A and B are shown apart, each in its own frame.
Chain A
Amino acid sequence: MNSARAEFLERIRNATSSMPPAMREPLPPIDDMIVRRLQAPIRTPHESEGPSAEGLRNAAALEAPVHGTDLVQIFCRRAADAGMTPSVVKRADLGAHVATILRNAGARQVICEPQLADSPWNLPKSAGDSFAWLDPNAGDDSLYAADAGMTAVHAAVAESGSIVCTSGAGLWRSLSLIPPLHIAIVEEYQIRADLVDLFQTPPADAPPAQLVIISGPSKTADIDGILITGLHGPRAVHVCIVTD
């Protein structure tokens, strides 16, 4: 076992050393301006979440500098382009809004993490009694019986119209994956400008076992180039952005 590792590394070491150090490509610095497509907004000091304030820069090639509320609009546009169904809703109306989505989709059984009940959204209670709320801890049968899965998110990205979900204590990867409909609840402050802002501050803790950037419903175009959704993952993703 150990010798396999040692021999393997030795072979690679010999291969790389065939080129003299002077000729090797140095590590290129990552120029933020080249990678970014969307500027991060200027944040006032009391806003703790989101990317650090970067200041406006002269960037003809990039989109116009954005401020707080623009991110929501950009996110909605890009998410819709990617095939998701974004919506903006006031906090007080969230429950009714979720109920409407579920009713329109004909979803009766909804699965969500138990701790969602402790969130400021008052879900699932605020959505009403006409739905059966399943507990994923009850096992596979619940998971596969659910018509819809409802989750919070770790973050959202305006530039690509993506939502980001992570694994973690008591969090289920399967809820945004197995039920045919996924409802994601996003707080406005969770929307980052660009993918670059997602990983900007390395987390103090170890990274989660799984972080997934979701940019649409499950898609395939393998059959004659025809775009079909919902092959393995959800066929519809509703993103509800909560504002005050």
Chain B
Amino acid sequence: MSESAHDFRQAAAAGLANQPMRAAILRTTSRKIEARAIALQQLGRADELRQLASRIKQHTLDHLDQYLVQFIDRAEASGATLHFAATADDARRIVGQIAATRAARVCVKAKSMTTEEIHLNESLIAAGVRVVETDLGEFIVQLDNDRPSHIVTPIIHKDRKTIARIIARELGVEYTEDAEQLVAHARTYLREVFRTCDLGISGVNFAIAETGGICLCTNEGNGRLTSTRPRVHVAVMGVEKLIPRVADLLVFLKLLARSSTGQHMTVYTTLIHGPKQPADADGPKELHIVLLDAGRSSILAGEHRSVLRCIRCGACLNACPVYRQIGGHAYGGVYPGPIGKLLGPLLSENERFAELPRASSLCGLCREVCPVDIDIPGRLVALRREQVERHARGWQQCGAFRLAGWMLRAAWSYRLMQRAARLLLGSRGWSTDAPPPLHGVAKHRDIRTPAQKPFRQVWNEVLQDE
């Protein structure tokens, strides 16, 4: 394992030890799972809708070059300026350049996991731009110099007292634990920032190839303010956000909020086509759309293409028994939860997230709730297989499996293995510990020790009795 590898076990243990966080996460995710189930039931033909959504996304990915060309053409026709970022570094440079040439001093950000992924804030701040996160959760994360732990509700790991302390400390207001007052303080502060900002940065939930439009889905209104108040609006989008037609957008609008929080729709669904038009009373004078590759074309080219269907609803996080116990920080990257176990290793250039594909019991709940039917367990197994083939698993593991493979080739070697196992483990039913080399395995899984007699012996005895 490389030096910079994320130590998942340690991080998970830390998460497990954090009782208040676990309680908060369990509470919130339980509520959302329940709400999701009710909301989808109300849809009537939810499963068919999900299948449709899955096929739309897969089709788009299978023809992404076409749709990208169409989107670029239409978006430019509507007055947007398109930029092309092959890497995260390119994207940072492009946005930095826009900020510099437009003399932007105050930048407001609507919540965008993509901009977190490319570490955009840091580079803008380094260039002397004041960057303010405006989504309440992200705002508190920023004030506290923390990291988000959920792709939809970033401070699911913080309880009210913690938030109250942060607000009092950073905004210089009197300490209060009243949620209404806390929100009011944030509103006052952020309202002033929105009044004076000159650059707005957002992500994109969906980009429509047919019309060149981009769609932002928020609950708080900061997405609208970010794309209305400042004179320059920059939207950073991974290429996988594309969908073919406006009619397809409706399929996703029906599913996104319902899968995410159980709402029918996010409070604000904003569909943007270019900057303000000459006769419009308000709106940004410039719209820049930064198309981001940053590893997505590699995923597109391989067997993991379906992972790019993800619409970032967070349903898999809410359902995952692992995430719900350890929280988002344990995953060590920008994307936590089941989808993070795929995106982490696939989008990174090194083995930093090598542990993540194994951080799963493969229970399959994530797949059951995914609105675009990504076979997350299947993809995790595929990643594990790739790791073994790359010898990225360590010689003990590879050696052990190779040995087992050899042992299973013939009846005599199989029986030898059985005898050895009986000697090593005894025949005591389920066991919670085992001698080396199975000691490490037994720490995380109960071991079923071999039966007193192998089945073929029992079978032969039964036949003899008859």
Q: Which residues of A contact B (CB under 8 A)?
A: 4-5, 7-9, 11-19, 24-28, 30-31, 33-35, 37, 61-62, 78, 82, 113, 136-137, 140, 144, 159-162, 167-174, 177, 195-196, 198-199, 202, 206-226, 228, 230-234
Distance in Å: Cβ of A171 to nearest Cβ of chain B? 6
Q: In this complex, what residue of A is CB-closest to B55?
A: A28
> Is the beta-carbon distance between B49 and A35 smaller than 8 angstroms?
yes
Closest 6 CB pairs of A and B: A233-B221, A232-B221, A61-B44, A24-B62, A169-B279, A15-B301
B185 CB → nearest A CB, Å: 11
Q: Is the CB of B267 within 8 A of A214?
A: yes
If A34-B52, A177-B224 touch, whether A160 touches B270 (CB-CB below 8 Å) is no
Question: Is the CB–CB distance between A8 and B293 below 8 Å?
Answer: yes
Q: How far is the CB of A2 from chain B (nearest CB, A)?
A: 10
Annotate B237-270 by CB proximity to A: 1 below 8 A, 0 otherwise: 0010000101111110110000001011111111
Other CB < 8 Å A-B pairs besides A25-B59, A170-B281, A228-B183, 10 of them? A11-B297, A16-B61, A16-B65, A30-B52, A61-B44, A78-B264, A167-B282, A208-B277, A223-B183, A233-B221
Chain B neighbourhood of A13, CB < 8 A: 65
CB < 8 Å A-B pair total: 259
Are B183 and A211 touching (Cβ within 8 A)? no
Interface size of B by CB at 8 A reads: 101
Given contacts A16-B62, A37-B43, A195-B254, is CB(A228)–CB(B179) below 8 Å? yes
Q: In the complex the two chains form, is B279's CB within 8 Å of A222's CB?
A: no
Q: Which residue of A lies closest to B48 (CB)?
A: A34
User: Which among A31, A37, A170, A233 has the highest number of chain B CB atoms within 10 Å?
Assistant: A233
- A224-B24 in contact (CB<8A): yes
Point out the residue from A30, A34, A162, A212 that lies within 8 Å of B270, measured CB to CB.
A212
B225 within 8 A of A: yes
**Chain B: minimal CB distance from A76 (Å):** 15
How far, in whole Å, are A160 and B61 apart by their CA atoms in the complex? 29
Contact A232 B220 (CB under 8 A): yes
Known contacts A25-B59, A173-B282, A209-B273; decide if A196 and B136 are in contact (CB<8 Å): no
Chain A: CB-nearest residue to B56: A28
Beta-carbon contact of A172 and B264 below 8 Å: no
Smallest CB gap from A199: residue in B: B246
Task: Flag if B220 contacts A215 (CB, 8 Å).
Answer: no
The stretch from B121-129, B154-162, B357-365, B401-409 touching chain A is B154-162
- A4, A35, A213, A230: which contacts B84 (Cβ < 8 A)? A4
Nearest CB on B from A133, distance (A): 17
Q: Within the assembled complex, what's the spacing in Å between the Cα atoms of A212 and B227?
A: 11
Q: A15 near B45 (CB under 8 angstroms)?
A: no
- B250 near A222: Cβ-Cβ < 8 Å: no
* Interface presence of B418 (CB below 8 A): no
CB-CB under 8 A from B297, the residues of chain A are: 11-12, 14-15
Residue of B nearest to A13 (CB): B65
Would you mind naming 6 contact pairs between A and B with Cβ atoms under 8 Å apart? A8-B86, A14-B297, A16-B300, A28-B52, A225-B28, A232-B220
Cβ–Cβ contact A34 & B279, under 8 A: no
Q: Is there contact, CB below 8 Å, between B301 and A34?
A: no
For residue B301, which residues in chain A have a CB less than 8 angstroms away from its CB?
Answer: 14-16, 18
Write out the residue numbers on chain B whose beta carbons fall within 8 Å of the beta carbon of A211.
Answer: 270-271
The complex places the Cα of A26 from the Cα of B49 at a distance, in Å, of 16
Does B348 make an interface contact (CB < 8 A)? Answer: no
Q: Which chain A residues border B44 with CB–CB below 8 Å? A: 37, 61-62
- A15:B228 contact, CB within 8 angstroms: no
Q: Which residues of chain B have C-beta atoms less than 8 A from A160's C-beta?
A: 264-265
Provide the residues of chain A in CB contact with B277, threshold 8 Å. Answer: 167-168, 208-209
